[in-house]
A = this chain, B = another copy of it.
């Protein structure tokens, strides 16, 4: 049992694949922050605090947890420089790069179709007004 309070289920679970593979990929990147972390590693390496500044609203703890999970899955490489004060750099691995391009496609999809989705919501809320 390597489960601790700091690094919870996201890292612990999923060792064998007994489920649909579609679930696997989304257990991996479907949490609240992984996508934004990967996306923010697009242009080269980032330091911990840089990521913290660039990703709006993420807490220190969740950035740590997310980066550790991505590191364990071989998507992010973590490099510690033995200097004072500490310097830690994060970058995508080649594997992470392949995933990042897919995420880029999803972001593009979102950008292109936001208007469609908003229109669909307005339409739905008109058609199904006070029911539910």
Q: Which A residues are closer than 8 A to B by beta carbons?
A: 2, 4, 6-7, 15, 17, 19-26, 28, 30-32, 35-36, 39, 56, 71-75, 95, 98-99, 102-103, 105-107, 109-111, 113-114, 116-121, 123-125, 130, 132
Q: Smallest Cβ distance from A90 to chain B, in angstroms? A: 15
Of B15, B105, B125, which one neighbours A121 at CB under 8 angstroms? B15
**Are A110's CB and B73's CB within 8 A?**
no
Identify the closest chain B residue to A72 (Cβ): B124
Each complex incorporates copies of this chain amounting to 2
**Are B117's CB and A56's CB within 8 A?**
no
**Are A74's CB and B119's CB within 8 A?**
yes
Identify the closest chain B residue to A94 (Cβ): B116
**Are B102's CB and A106's CB within 8 A?**
yes
* 5 smallest beta-carbon distances between A and B, as pairs: A74-B120, A25-B110, A72-B124, A21-B110, A22-B107
**Are B20's CB and A114's CB within 8 A?**
no
Residues of B within 8 A of A116 (CB): 74, 95
Q: Smallest Cβ distance from A129 to chain B, in angstroms? A: 9
